[in-house]
Structure 1
Amino acid sequence: MAVETRAACKEYGTGSHTVRALDGVSVSIEQGEFFTLLGPSGCGKTTLLRLIAGFEVPTDGQILLHGQDITTDPPNTRPVNTVFQSYALFPHLNVAENIGFSLKMLGRPRSEIRQAVDKMLSLVQLEDFAARKPQQLSGGQQQRVALARALAPEPKVLLLDEPLSALDLKLRKEMQLELKRLQVETGITFIFVTHDQEEALTMSDRVAVMQSGAVLQIGTPREIYNHPVDRFVADFIGETNFLSGRIEKDQVRLSSGELLAVVTEGHEGEVTLAVRPEQVRLCSAEESANLSATITDTVYFGTDTHCHMRLADQTEIVARLQSPPSGEIGLKRGETVGLRFAPGALQVLDS
């Protein structure tokens, strides 16, 4: 494993003012993996990243790098580099000098520094910007320089603390693809921190979803999205509809009264059904429907239209429909429609 944390805990303060930022977190990150720590503000993801970087020492537990215990090693002795939210480029140095700065501090020969800088400029596609100062660059270009500077010493692990948060939406999407390309080309282990689930799904090989200092689920983006372990994960990763009910044999009776056939193994009593909006289909009166609902609103999103509805018990449910070329889906408020769910779309969660 490239990085392991074993029952890592971190507390701040003392006595009644103690705050437990991490509560026994254990993760194993493979060599060459793009691993993302995902969760809301205050969940502990940045604290965990700082433990790996060496900026913080755990209250309890261990941090290992390629099997070696580095729990108490200072940051400057770890083959790890960090890219922060603020790019922290030196304004008085040009792009090439910024990229080569860490190598210069390590005492590398000039010829080696020049070769590494040229390689990094090519990698981040900034060969024509080597002589420019940071203030002459766009936000995306500054981000690339920060990445190149962190990659130049060839660290074994690169830590990224929400590095795209300051970029506008279009540029952020471009940089998501750029980051993944850089990770694949360099083969370096990336550990990425974000609260943006789209970033996590777009770039990651695996994702760890965190809440209140604990890891709730680790898996591939598809596993996390399609098979969340609980309501928090289902709700945090994308949009989700939740239906309350109670298990009756191999079915769930909803609070609205309808029975739905689902796989209930491992669950009993009161449960919650989770279903993604894109897996909800509206059907005509001639088709057999799982549920009936009343349309309350439709919202046009370009390629998609979100149809907001209410069940008989006032539970809200949303269907994501592909918009036709005209943009009009022909549904009106107050109209009653039938609903069907894609096979396997209903996930049973404990209430």
Structure 2
Amino acid sequence: MSASSRDRKFPLAIEALALSEAAAPFSLRLGQGEALSLLSEDAQSLSLFCDVLAGFASPTCGKIFIDGQDITSEPPEHRAIVLVSPRDPVFGHLDVAANIALALRAKGAAAQLIDATVKKTLALVGLDAQNGHRADLLTPEQAARLKLARALAGAPSVLVLDGLLNELDLRAASKTRDLVTRLQRALGLTLIHAASSREDALWLGGRIALLDRHALIQCADAATLMERPSDARSASLFGEANLLTGRVLEIEDDVARIHLACGGVVEAMADAELAVDALCILCIRPDRMTPLFGALAAGDDETPPLVATIQSVLHTGEHIRFRLRLADGGEIEMRRPLLQPMRGVTQGALLQLAWQASQAVAFPMKDDL
């Protein structure tokens, strides 16, 4: 079966794509009407990926298929992928309708079709009343809606959003997210959104692709990324997990007993590749640790406790955030519910940390972690 036949049911199929010489190739497919969020600590990596999809940058290797057709070498204007980003500004000297009509006129569309398309897209994004307004007089939220209207006018197979919300305040960003969600569901859009944070990656409700150093490290729904990260990078990027180094003392029934470099012996679920006496990275989320304040429990030579010193305590309104220093000088974060008793919880106080083995996961230490 040819690649074209195999990928025809996917509006977007990426095969063995590498964004740079040092990055490992990856493959990815999006189904019709699927919404995918991209998440990385490096905004430039996300923008590079978006530019490669839209044809404004070239991959090191690999292929991109739209509706089964290889468009890897096609210029942006010949791709059924439209990118919306700050690098594609509105034309301030033109009115709203003319901004939308410009690309259609460049493609030679008939005047009647242009008029109908402009009216339709203005209604979709709620800019009917701003039809004749100059684009440079629009609010940031209205400018974002104009960019969406201009993109939708071309009826793209895939819509890519990069930095659409960057220049919006919290209220405008929330309203724009709601608009995009309604459009995506109502029109059955195949959508890719470059997210700047975990919260920003969650609102679409679909799969989330985690990128690190120009490479895809995991692509799954939010629950899987939180509970079953593929490696320490994924756990840290999406689950905001604390990463602790240690040595594996034993593994029994998929539970590893680990002596941490910062002191203390703890347990965690063992990755399939983890081996006894190997160095490892233990991942534990800030909200999964249980503290013992006041008098510390006595350990023994085989199971010394994990002890930390409180560096700071912050009430966020949703939880209490602790910054803790370990015996080796490293710092980690812990979060507790607001109902947590605070007696004796002050800067400089000692506490003991514990967790159930099922709440942590240990991976083999690798050179790239």
TM range (shorter): 0.7 to 0.9
Matched pairs, number: 341
User: Counterparts of 2:242 and 2:212 in 1: how far apart (Å)?
Assistant: 20
Letter in structure 2 aligned against 1:246: R
Please say if 1:228 is aligned against 2:229. yes
SS at match of 1:72: coil
* 1:345 match: 359
- Aligned to 1:334, which of 302, 323, 348? 348
User: Counterparts of 2:76 and 2:237 in 1: how far apart (Å)?
Assistant: 33
* 1:16 match: none
Please say if 1:282 is aligned against 2:291. yes
* 1:299 match: 314
Aligned in 2, Cα 1:111/1:322: closer, same or farther, shift over 3 Å?
Answer: farther
Could you say what the CA RMSD is over the residues aligned between the two structures, in angstroms?
3.0
* 1:136 match: 137
Structure 2, unmatched stretches of 5+, are: 1-9, 252-256, 299-304
* 1:199 match: 200
SS at match of 2:25: strand
* 1:108 match: 109
User: Counterparts of 2:297 and 2:155 in 1: how far apart (Å)?
Assistant: 60
Letter in structure 1 aligned against 2:282: L
Please say if 1:310 is aligned against 2:352. no
Letter in structure 2 aligned against 1:80: I
User: Counterparts of 2:42 and 2:268 in 1: how far apart (Å)?
Assistant: 34
Kindly indicate whether the alpha-carbon contact (under 8 Å) linking 1:305 and 1:323 is maintained by their aligned counterparts in 2. Answer: yes
Letter in structure 2 aligned against 1:335: A
* 1:36 match: 37
Q: Which moved more, 1:136-145 or 1:121-130?
A: 121-130
Aligned-pair CA distance for 1:143? 0.4
Aligned-pair CA distance for 1:232? 2.6
Q: Under a length normalisation based on structure 2, what TM-score does the superposition of the two structures give?
A: 0.80
For 1:83-109, what per-residue CA distance to the aligned partner results, in whole angstroms no more than 9, with x for missing partners?
Answer: 122452122222233223323333334
For 1:275-327, what per-residue CA distance to the aligned partner results, in whole angstroms no more than 9, with x for missing partners?
Answer: 11122233466998974433222023222221122344444332212335xx9
For 1:203-244, what per-residue CA distance to the aligned partner results, in whole angstroms no more than 9, with x for missing partners?
Answer: 351222222332222222332233332333333335321222
For 1:24-54, what per-residue CA distance to the aligned partner results, in whole angstroms no more than 9, with x for missing partners?
Answer: 2322222211223332437643333333222
Letter in structure 2 aligned against 1:263: M
Aligned in 2, Cα 1:217/1:227: closer, same or farther, shift over 3 Å?
Answer: same
Aligned in 2, Cα 1:295/1:184: closer, same or farther, shift over 3 Å?
Answer: same
Kindly indicate whether the alpha-carbon contact (under 8 Å) linking 1:176 and 1:199 is maintained by their aligned counterparts in 2. Answer: no
User: Counterparts of 1:75 and 1:106 in 2: how far apart (Å)?
Assistant: 13
- Aligned to 1:261, which of 250, 267, 279? 267
* 1:14 match: none
SS at match of 1:171: helix
User: Counterparts of 1:194 and 1:315 in 2: how far apart (Å)?
Assistant: 29
User: Counterparts of 1:177 and 1:94 in 2: how far apart (Å)?
Assistant: 25
User: Counterparts of 1:342 and 1:119 in 2: how far apart (Å)?
Assistant: 55
User: Counterparts of 2:267 and 2:239 in 1: how far apart (Å)?
Assistant: 24
* 1:99 match: 100
> Any residues of structure 2 matched to 1:73-88 within 5 Å, and which?
73-88=74-89
> Any residues of structure 2 matched to 1:1-16 within 5 Å, and which?
1-9=10-18
Kindly indicate whether the alpha-carbon contact (under 8 Å) linking 1:206 and 1:219 is maintained by their aligned counterparts in 2. Answer: yes
User: Counterparts of 2:151 and 2:44 in 1: how far apart (Å)?
Assistant: 26
Structure 1, unmatched stretches of 5+, are: 12-19
* 1:237 match: 238
* 2:254 match: none
Letter in structure 2 aligned against 1:296: Q
Aligned-pair CA distance for 1:186? 1.8
Aligned-pair CA distance for 1:259? 2.7
Kindly indicate whether the alpha-carbon contact (under 8 Å) linking 1:43 and 1:213 is maintained by their aligned counterparts in 2. Answer: no
Q: Which moved more, 1:188-197 or 1:34-43?
A: 34-43
User: Counterparts of 1:70 and 1:254 in 2: how far apart (Å)?
Assistant: 50
User: Counterparts of 2:114 and 2:108 in 1: how far apart (Å)?
Assistant: 9
For 1:119-156, what per-residue CA distance to the aligned partner results, in whole angstroms no more than 9, with x for missing partners?
Answer: 32232222322222222221111001101110122111
Aligned-pair CA distance for 1:159? 1.8
Kindly indicate whether the alpha-carbon contact (under 8 Å) linking 2:296 and 2:351 is maintained by their aligned counterparts in 1. Answer: no
Kindly indicate whether the alpha-carbon contact (under 8 Å) linking 1:43 and 1:210 is maintained by their aligned counterparts in 2. Answer: no
Letter in structure 1 aligned against 2:291: L
Q: Which moved more, 1:331-340 or 1:157-166?
A: 331-340
* Percent identical: 29
User: Counterparts of 1:335 and 1:57 in 2: how far apart (Å)?
Assistant: 54
Aligned in 2, Cα 1:334/1:284: closer, same or farther, shift over 3 Å?
Answer: closer
